[in-house]
Structure 1
Amino acid sequence: MKPTKNVGFIGLGHLGHSIAAHLVEQGVSLTVWNRTAAKADDLGMQGAKSPGDLISRVDVVILNLFDSDAVASVLAGKDGLFSGSCKGKIIIDTTTNHFARVVEFHSLVREHGATYLECPVLGSVVPASQGKLTVLVSGDEQAYASVKPLLALIGSAVFYLREPALATKMKLVNNLVLGSFMATCAEAVALGEAAGIRRDEVIDILLSGAGNSMILSAKKDKLKNAEFSPHFSSALIYKDLHYLQDLCRTLNKPLFIGSTVKELYAITRSKGVDNRDFSAIYEIFKEF
C-alpha cells in the first residue's frame, strides 16, 4: 500500500520542519499551515490560509505542536480545523500531549466527523530528517491501517497501542529516561571537568564506559562545542516531565528521579534559557 499523496501539515518547529522536509523528499505532496508562514519558505510547499482551509483540501492532517493548548487552539480556535470540512478526514497528532487532554481530542474530533490518531514520536531532529523516528500510535485501528504507510515514512519503528492515551502515556515514560539520562550525563561531564579532565576527554571516556548511549552519542558534539542551538528544547522536556508528574499522581505512584530532573530544567526556565537545547542543562551543573 502506498502512502497517501494528499496530506496537510501543521507545526513547523524544529522537529516538525524536519519531518515535513523528509516527507517531501519521499514524494509526499504537502499542504502546510504555520503561525509563522516564513518557516515554510525553504520547503517549496503549498500554503493554506488557515487550519480550516487546510483540512478542506486534504484527506490527512499531521500536527506537530508544542503542547496540548496549542493542539486545542488548532482544532477548535478561530479558523481552526473544525471550521473546515472534516468529515471522513484523519488527524495524526505527533505532539507530546497531556494524557487527559488527548482523550478529549479523540472525542472532539469524532464529534466533527473525523478520526484522531495520537502518534507521539520518539527521537529528535536528526532521526526525523532520516525517517528514523519511533512512532507510538493509539486510536481507531482502521484509520491506523490506512495511514500506516505514511507513518512508515516518518518512523523506522511503529508501535500500535490501540487504546486512547496509551501512546501518550508511553511517550511520557520514555521522556523520563530521556530527561534523566541527559541530566546525568551533563552532570558527569561537569564533574569530570571540575576534577581537571578536559571536557572532550570526559565525553569520550563516558561513551566508552557507562555513559555509552544513544542520548550521549546524539549530544556529544553539542557538549564538546558548547553549542546548544535547539533540536529538543529544555522547555519541552520540562513540559513533558510536568505531564508525567500528573500521570503519576493519577496512578498513585511517586516520581522520584523525574521530579528532581524536572526541577533542574525549571532552572533553565527561571534563567530564561529554556529555548536552548535540553543538553544545555550541562551549563547549569557547571555553575554549581
Structure 2
Amino acid sequence: MTTILAAPRTYEPTAPLRVAFLGLGVMGQPMAGHLARAGHQVTVYNRTAARADEWVASYGGRSAPTPREATAGADIVFACVGNDADLRSVTLGVDGAFGGMAAGAVFVDHTTASADIARELDAAARARGLHFIDAPVSGGNLGAINGALTVMCGGDAAAFDRIRPVAMSYSKAVTLLGPAGAGQLAKMVNQIAIAGLVQGLAEAIAFGEKAGLDMKAVLGVIGKGAAQSWQMDNRGPTMVDARFDFGFAVDWMRKDLGLCLDEARRNGARLPVTALVDQFYADLQAQGGNRWDTSSLVKRLRG
C-alpha cells in the first residue's frame, strides 16, 4: 500500500499543528504523508485499520480506531473518503469526527461530493461551534504524490485563512471560491470540462489512426498549437499505446458526472455533451472497464 512520495519539496513555513486525516486511499495516503513531512503532528484513521498502521510505519504519527478518537484535540481535521454517505458516516456517525472535535476546530473535506452535503455539514459544524470547508481537489494520484494538487474551497474566509498554509503542503494552489458548497460546484465545472475534452481527444486519435497517421508524431505537432492541453500531453501518448492502467478510474468519473448532472437538473443548466460522455463511460463499465483510466474512452472508437 505504501506510496513513495516525490523527492522532498520545500513546504510553506507553518507552525506545527495537531491535525487528523480521515481516509487513506490513493489520494489521502500521500496527502497525509505531506502533512507529516511538513512537520505537523498527524493522527490518521482509515476504515481498514491495517492501512492506517502501514501509514504510521512509513510516516510516523499515530492511528486511531475511530474518527472521533482521531480528531480529539486536533486543530484541523482533513478527510478524503468516497461519497456523501461515507462523509456523513465519518462526521455525524456515533463515532464521527464532529463528536470528537474541540470548539473552534476546522474540518476540511477533500472528498468529491455534492454541494448539498457540503451545506448540510457546514450547518451541522456551526451548530457544534466548529468550522467546515469543502475542498475537493484536482490533479489525481500523481498530483497528491508530488504535492501539486489544485484545491477548490467553499466556506468561511477566516477558517479558510487558517487551513490554507497547511493544505499547501500537498498543493500548488488552494483557493476560496465562495460560501459552503462553492468548492464542490467548482469541482463539477472541472469535471464537465475534462469529460468533453477527453472525448474530443479520443475521437481525434481514433480518426488519425483510421487515416493512417503516426499519431504520436501528430500529437507532438498539434500539442504545440491551440489544441494543446494537459490531457493531450499526459494521456494522448498513452491512449495511442492503449495503456489505461493508471490515473482516474471510470467508476470515479461516473460518480462525479452523476453529481454534475444531478446539480444541473436542480439549477437548470444544460449539459448535453456531459450527459452523452457519461453514457460512453457506462459503455466502458459494461465492457468491464470500471477501473480503467478515464482516457479509455478511445477504446469505444477502435472497433
Given that residues 72 and 102 in structure 2 are in contact (C-alpha distance below 8 angstroms), is that contact kept between their aligned partners in structure 1? Answer: yes
How far is 1:190 from its partner?
Answer: 2.2
Q: Confirm whether residue 242 of structure 1 aligns to residue 254 of structure 2.
A: no
The answer for the alignment partner of 2:35 in structure 1 is 23
Q: Following the alignment from structure 2 to structure 1, what is the Cα–Cα distance between the partners of residues 238 and 19?
A: 34
Of 48, 53, 59, the residue aligned with 1:44 is 59
Q: Following the alignment from structure 2 to structure 1, what is the Cα–Cα distance between the partners of residues 64 and 241?
A: 39
How far is 1:86 from its partner?
Answer: 4.2
The answer for the alignment partner of 1:127 in structure 2 is 143
Q: 1:92 to 1:210 in 2, by over 3 A?
A: same
> Which blocks of at least 5 consecutive residues in structure 1 are unaligned?
none
How far is 1:53 from its partner?
Answer: 0.8
The answer for the alignment partner of 1:14 in structure 2 is 26
> Which blocks of at least 5 consecutive residues in structure 2 are unaligned?
1-12
| Paired AA for residue 109 in structure 1 | A
Q: Confirm whether residue 190 of structure 1 aligns to residue 206 of structure 2.
A: yes
Query: Where in structure 2 are the equivalents of 1:76-95 lying within 5 Å?
Result: 76-95=92-111
Query: Where in structure 2 are the equivalents of 1:205-224 lying within 5 Å?
Result: 205-224=221-240
Instruction: Give TM-score, length-normalised by structure 1.
Output: 0.90
| Paired AA for residue 149 in structure 1 | P
Q: 1:242 to 1:147 in 2, by over 3 A?
A: same
Of 118, 131, 134, the residue aligned with 1:115 is 131
Offset from partner CA, 1:16-67 (integer Å, 9 cap, x none): 2232233333333321111223434153342111111101142211111222
How far is 1:238 from its partner?
Answer: 1.3
How far is 1:198 from its partner?
Answer: 4.1
Q: 1:53 to 1:194 in 2, by over 3 A?
A: same
Of 65, 74, 91, the residue aligned with 1:75 is 91
Q: 1:205 to 1:39 in 2, by over 3 A?
A: farther
| Paired AA for residue 140 in structure 2 | S
Q: CA RMSD in A?
A: 2.2
Q: Following the alignment from structure 2 to structure 1, what is the Cα–Cα distance between the partners of residues 59 and 29?
A: 12
Offset from partner CA, 1:173-197 (integer Å, 9 cap, x none): 1111112111211222222223223
User: Any idea what SS the aligned residue of 1:275 has?
Assistant: coil
The answer for the alignment partner of 2:293 in structure 1 is 277
Given that residues 172 and 240 in structure 1 are in contact (C-alpha distance below 8 angstroms), is that contact kept between their aligned partners in structure 2? Answer: yes
How far is 1:217 from its partner?
Answer: 1.6
User: Any idea what SS the aligned residue of 2:47 has?
Assistant: coil
Amino-acid identity (%): 28
Q: Confirm whether residue 153 of structure 1 aligns to residue 169 of structure 2.
A: yes
Given that residues 229 and 277 in structure 1 are in contact (C-alpha distance below 8 angstroms), is that contact kept between their aligned partners in structure 2? Answer: yes
Given that residues 203 and 224 in structure 1 are in contact (C-alpha distance below 8 angstroms), is that contact kept between their aligned partners in structure 2? Answer: no
Given that residues 201 and 236 in structure 2 are in contact (C-alpha distance below 8 angstroms), is that contact kept between their aligned partners in structure 1? Answer: no
Given that residues 66 and 236 in structure 1 are in contact (C-alpha distance below 8 angstroms), is that contact kept between their aligned partners in structure 2? Answer: no
Q: Confirm whether residue 5 of structure 1 aligns to residue 2 of structure 2.
A: no
Q: Following the alignment from structure 1 to structure 2, what is the Cα–Cα distance between the partners of residues 159 and 85?
A: 24
Deviates more, 1:123-132 or 1:237-246: 123-132
Q: 1:253 to 1:92 in 2, by over 3 A?
A: same
Q: Following the alignment from structure 1 to structure 2, what is the Cα–Cα distance between the partners of residues 282 and 55?
A: 44
User: Any idea what SS the aligned residue of 1:14 has?
Assistant: coil
Given that residues 3 and 149 in structure 1 are in contact (C-alpha distance below 8 angstroms), is that contact kept between their aligned partners in structure 2? Answer: no
Q: Following the alignment from structure 2 to structure 1, what is the Cα–Cα distance between the partners of residues 183 and 15?
A: 22
How far is 1:144 from its partner?
Answer: 1.1
How far is 1:116 from its partner?
Answer: 0.8
| Paired AA for residue 276 in structure 1 | W
User: Any idea what SS the aligned residue of 1:88 has?
Assistant: coil
Q: 1:192 to 1:160 in 2, by over 3 A?
A: same
Given that residues 74 and 101 in structure 2 are in contact (C-alpha distance below 8 angstroms), is that contact kept between their aligned partners in structure 1? Answer: no
How far is 1:276 from its partner?
Answer: 2.3
Q: Following the alignment from structure 2 to structure 1, what is the Cα–Cα distance between the partners of residues 48 and 240?
A: 32
Given that residues 205 and 240 in structure 2 are in contact (C-alpha distance below 8 angstroms), is that contact kept between their aligned partners in structure 1? Answer: no
Q: Confirm whether residue 143 of structure 1 aligns to residue 155 of structure 2.
A: no
Query: Where in structure 2 are the equivalents of 1:249-288 lying within 5 Å?
Result: 249-287=265-303
Offset from partner CA, 1:237-268 (integer Å, 9 cap, x none): 21111111122222222112111111111222
Offset from partner CA, 1:78-133 (integer Å, 9 cap, x none): 42213424432211001111112211111122223321111111221222222222
Given that residues 251 and 290 in structure 2 are in contact (C-alpha distance below 8 angstroms), is that contact kept between their aligned partners in structure 1? Answer: yes
Given that residues 191 and 257 in structure 2 are in contact (C-alpha distance below 8 angstroms), is that contact kept between their aligned partners in structure 1? Answer: yes
